[in-house]
Structure 1
Amino acid sequence: MTTTAPLPLTATTTCPDLGPVFDGLWSEHGPVAPVELEPGVHAWLVMGYEELKALTGTPDLFSRDARDWKAFQDGTVPPDSPLGPMMFFRDNVIGYDGEEHRRLRRPLEDAIASVDHRRLRRTVESVCADLIGGFAGRGTADLVAEYAAAVPLLTIGNLIGLDPGQSRELLDAMRALFGSQEDSQDGNRRFEALLFGLAESRRADPRDDLTSLLLGHPDLRTEAEVLQSIVVLVSAGNHTTISWIAQTLRLVLTDPRFAGRVRGGRLGLDDALDEVLSVAPPMINMPARYALRDTELGGRAIARGDALILGLAGVAHDHRAHGGRAFWQSGNRAHLAWSAGPHACPARDPARTIARTAVATALHYLRDLRLTVDPAGLEFEPSPWTRCPASLPVSFTATHEAPGGRP
């Protein structure tokens, strides 16, 4: 067993290249590696395919309820920790297992099932066209700040009933929440306050939107449960989709192999999006499960109350799962980007519609698209969980013709 200090989890998200970091973790530790969440706060990063399936599929052993986290119980993690918004217990579908989880998941599944995908695609196309129209005449843009960061939330905001200005306020709050930095607690408060105001508005004046649907759902018993369901619907679907869009565009701009296959038609857009999910998923690491008793996983002795992080990017480096070949080249698309088990993401189809439409629209309208900085100098948003480019400064052939219609 290694005696080296655990790797800070942020080293797996802010590094220039994921490959060497995860290969190093696998080489030194195997499928379950010790990591540090913040100074003095340790956890296990689970990267093995079979180990992740066991972790997500046995809630009677590995709980989603953060009240089982020993480091929080004993005060190692203080109540004001920046880890709180992503790791502390929430009284919603994310925080429970068993029947209570199933009850709280049903309204979300019903809300997602109610989405008309043709209408959704048209909404995304309109959002994308408006955003591109705002910078097309300049011939330059930041495809994160001016595009990828806005598309999902403006779209989701439309679905839940927010106006564009409120959606942008919500985006600023969510950036802080997901960053797990010093402003994460304040971001969480602003995020919930905006959604609480929306719920109050729709209770007085129901509309044809997902907020009104959730307010009337029989499985949601209190106003707090309605609010938390909206929180999950927005937070789970937004930041991850931003990262999915931005990572795909980054690869088109920086990876000649990937770009050539996409632009040359040898790699369909859905296949390209799946490749990103496999090797650089929107959630590089996902919090968390908590051991309910002493156990063993991946050759590691796991103590009761230990936190285990889902290493969704690390699984691409599990050579046991794909015969020692590169994960994507093996043809194995059994990635775990959506997680697995009872808590697997139920919104993968709407997320794909948003991401596919956003990438397709950008590639269609922005001619001669190219990055204007050294790819090696691109930085990523600070977060131990996601790996979203902080910016993608580009140039392209300027046009004053407003985008419109389907690309």
Structure 2
Amino acid sequence: MTPESHSPTGTGEPLLEPPPGCPAHGLGPGGLHRLHEAEDLEELYEKLREQHGPVAPALLHDDVPMWVVLGHAENLHMVSTPSQFCRDSRIWTPLNEGMVKPDHPLMPHIAWQPICSHAEGDEHKRLRGAVTSAMSDLDYRELRRHIKRYTQRVVNRFCEEGRADLVSQFAEHLPMGVMCHLLGMPEEYNDRLVEAARDTLKGTETAIASHAYVMEALGRLTATRRADPADDIAGRLVTHPAGLTDDEVREHLRVVLLAAYEATVNLIGNVMRVVLTDPGFRAQLSGGQMTVPQAVEQSLWDEPPFSTVFAYFAKQETELGGQRIRAGDGLLLGIAPGNVDPRIRPDLDASMMGNRAHLAFGGGPHECPGQDIGRAIADAGIDALLMRLPDLQLDCDEDDLRWRSSIASRHLVELPVRFEPRAQQDIMQQPSHAPTPERHAPWHVGLPKPERRAQPPLPAQPPQPVSVTAAEPQQAPGAGQPRPRGAWQRFLLWWRGY
């Protein structure tokens, strides 16, 4: 059974929708499930796994057929076999047959673009090599220092209030500040850029204008680095031997910025939600049984920032997960369902500590090149946040938390918290929940010593034995005459030849 066999017949007969509450609601032609109408995608994926196995047929908007890869091993095979599967949607049969309209809701995700994530062969090597090189020369110790400084800056905005929304006031701001620094445009970081990036990814009515705002900023950066290269991601892209054009540099800066931003925003929100709602998880974190990086890795298994990735396409007829895949078929990289494949996780409550075999960053030639940057932002940022505000508590019932879901991702709308108000801290200071220590007056040799505060008199101390140097007789204070030597001192003087 293939998705194409259940495409609309083209007879002109209307496809009637089932009434609300009908068991057939959410089903399309041939009884295939419409992913975009599912109220609970996780539940639907398990139902599809039970019915079809690790690869299942389904429908996108406008009843466009698509395979959903649910198995962990099948996903890894797909992303790691470029001879059979690619990310070039120009070979997608429904697109070539006119089933996918230009205004299809998922076209921004699927439409082919001249970027490394869609390229193949030598062109992929050229573009991907430049991006990987530009991101691999980072000093991660210096990066973590910058992450902590940006965390200080972001937390200073709300630390005196005693309440905050960790999604809109923290998770959405920290990654943008850090990424602007890494790309080479720290002066562009502001609330407007954060709003524009989020709006672009949400696909709202103003998304086109927001996307234009982001691209203008990246265009200015590209022109600046072309005239004056610097040691940042933009500068390395401009000067790379691959010879990227200005358009190629700008487009890849967009990919790096938006992909890293969206993934890290969702990752930070997901980790903090578990910290605030799971006492056992928080106890492990606070007690040292689990580190923040291990907590982040567990979240990448349980709640990956992207549920699926659009999309891979079959270059030839093949077989995957027991299904016959025809040339031109489309397949969704099922990150979330692959991470809970019962063949590799028979017990979902078991800890995955130390295991990085999840699908959160894909794999194969198109594996996310910036995954270590995302991990560093989440690791260092969450650690610094908890150092500043260790008494964070959820400021609503857990059941009141709201989510925004789509086929591509599921993330928190807000995460309200409360805490004891605290004073702001110098962004150059190590994050701490303790009050800022009083600074001493500057002093160096040649300046009068600063006046010291009067100290209370010390309590009387019992007489202490006096240390005597054998080579030089000890003088009594104010006396001018040597003290009588004891037998041991006289022996030492004789022994040393005095």
How does the TM-score come out when normalised to structure 1? Answer: 0.91
Secondary structure, aligned partner of 2:153: helix
1:188–1:76 CA distance, 2 compared to 1 (3 A): farther
**Shift in Å at residue 158 of structure 1?**
0.9
Q: Is the CA contact (8 Å cut-off) linking 1:26 and 1:317 kept in structure 2?
A: no
Q: Which moved more, 1:396-405 or 1:234-243?
A: 396-405
Aligned partner of 2:413 among 390, 395, 405 = 390
Within 1, Cα distance between the matches of 2:260 and 2:58? 27
Q: Which moved more, 1:164-173 or 1:73-82?
A: 164-173
What do the CA deviations read for 1:150-200 (whole angstroms, capped 9, x no partner)?
Answer: 111110101112235445444333323333455555544443333122212
Within 1, Cα distance between the matches of 2:359 and 2:206? 30
Q: Which moved more, 1:51-60 or 1:131-140?
A: 51-60
Q: Please name the residue that 1:329 is paired with.
A: 351
**Shift in Å at residue 347 of structure 1?**
1.9
Q: Which moved more, 1:194-203 or 1:329-338?
A: 329-338
Which amino acid in 2 is paired with 1:150? Answer: H
Within 2, Cα distance between the matches of 1:133 and 1:330? 34
Within 2, Cα distance between the matches of 1:232 and 1:155? 15
Which amino acid in 2 is paired with 1:329? Answer: S
Q: Which moved more, 1:105-114 or 1:223-232?
A: 223-232
Secondary structure, aligned partner of 2:411: coil
Q: Is the CA contact (8 Å cut-off) linking 2:61 and 2:104 kept in structure 1?
A: no
Question: Over aligned residue pairs, what C-alpha RMSD do you find?
Answer: 2.4
Q: Does 1:5 align with 2:32?
A: yes
Question: Which protein is richer in helix relative to its size?
Answer: 1
Q: Please name the residue that 2:142 is paired with.
A: 119
**Shift in Å at residue 245 of structure 1?**
0.9
**Shift in Å at residue 128 of structure 1?**
0.6
Within 2, Cα distance between the matches of 1:63 and 1:72? 15
Secondary structure, aligned partner of 1:350: helix
Higher relative contact order (CA closer than 8 Å, sequence separation 6+)? 1
Which amino acid in 1 is paired with 2:100? Answer: V
Q: Please name the residue that 1:24 is paired with.
A: 47
Q: Does 1:318 align with 2:341?
A: yes
% of aligned pairs identical?
Answer: 33
Q: Which moved more, 1:41-50 or 1:268-277?
A: 41-50
Q: Does 1:154 align with 2:171?
A: no
Within 2, Cα distance between the matches of 1:188 and 1:244? 22
Q: How does 1:169-180 map to 2 (within 5 A)?
A: 169-180=192-203
Q: Please name the residue that 2:115 is paired with.
A: 92
Q: Does 1:289 align with 2:312?
A: yes
Which amino acid in 1 is paired with 2:181? Answer: N
Q: Is the CA contact (8 Å cut-off) linking 2:159 and 2:421 kept in structure 1?
A: yes
Within 2, Cα distance between the matches of 1:10 and 1:239? 23
Secondary structure, aligned partner of 1:368: coil
Aligned partner of 1:135 among 151, 158, 168 = 158
Secondary structure, aligned partner of 1:214: helix
Q: Which moved more, 1:368-377 or 1:200-209?
A: 200-209
What do the CA deviations read for 1:196-255 (whole angstroms, capped 9, x no partner)?
Answer: 222123223333322122111110342222122212221222110111111100111122
1:182–1:55 CA distance, 2 compared to 1 (3 A): farther
Q: Is the CA contact (8 Å cut-off) linking 2:387 and 2:431 kept in structure 1?
A: no
Within 2, Cα distance between the matches of 1:326 and 1:166? 39
Which amino acid in 1 is paired with 2:125? Answer: R
Q: Which moved more, 1:349-358 or 1:158-167?
A: 158-167
Which amino acid in 2 is paired with 1:405? Answer: Q
Q: How does 1:294-309 map to 2 (within 5 A)?
A: 294-309=317-332
Within 2, Cα distance between the matches of 1:384 and 1:180? 13
Within 1, Cα distance between the matches of 2:318 and 2:93? 15
Q: Please name the residue that 2:402 is paired with.
A: 379
Within 1, Cα distance between the matches of 2:329 and 2:98? 14
Secondary structure, aligned partner of 1:394: strand
Mark the runs of 5 or more structure 2 residues left unpaired by the alignment.
2-26, 433-498
Within 1, Cα distance between the matches of 2:310 and 2:74? 15
Q: Is the CA contact (8 Å cut-off) linking 1:317 and 1:327 kept in structure 2?
A: no
How does the TM-score come out when normalised to structure 2? Answer: 0.75
Q: Which moved more, 1:297-306 or 1:312-321?
A: 297-306
Q: Which moved more, 1:25-34 or 1:337-346?
A: 25-34
Q: How does 1:67-106 map to 2 (within 5 A)?
A: 67-106=90-129
**Shift in Å at residue 358 of structure 1?**
1.1
1:25–1:175 CA distance, 2 compared to 1 (3 A): farther
1:60–1:167 CA distance, 2 compared to 1 (3 A): farther
Q: Which moved more, 1:44-53 or 1:196-205?
A: 196-205
